[in-house]
Chains A and B, each alone.
Chain A
Amino acid sequence: DQQVKQNSPSLSVQEGRISILNCDYTNSMFDYFLWYKKYPAEGPTFLISISSIKDKNEDGRFTVFLNKSAKHLSLHIVPSQPGDSAVYFCAASITAGTYKYIFGTGTRLKVLA
Chain B
Amino acid sequence: EADIYQTPRYLVIGTGKKITLECSQTMGHDKMYWYQQDPGMELHLIHYSYGVNSTEKGDLSSESTVSRIRTEHFPLTLESARPSHTSQYLCASSEVGSGTKTQYFGPGTRLLVL
Contacts and interface: CB of A to CB of B under 8 A. Distances in A.
Interface of B: 2, 4, 6, 9, 31, 33, 35, 40-43, 45, 48, 58-59, 88, 90-92, 94, 96, 101-108, 110
B35 to A, nearest CB: 8
Contacts, number: 60
Interface of A: 2, 4, 9, 32, 34, 36, 41-46, 49, 89, 91, 93, 95, 98-101, 103-106
Contacts of B6: 43
Contacts of B45: 100-101
B41 A49 contact: no
Given A34-B102, A43-B106, A93-B101, A103 B90 contact: no
Given A99-B31, A105-B42, A41 B110 contact: yes
B45 to A, nearest CB: 6
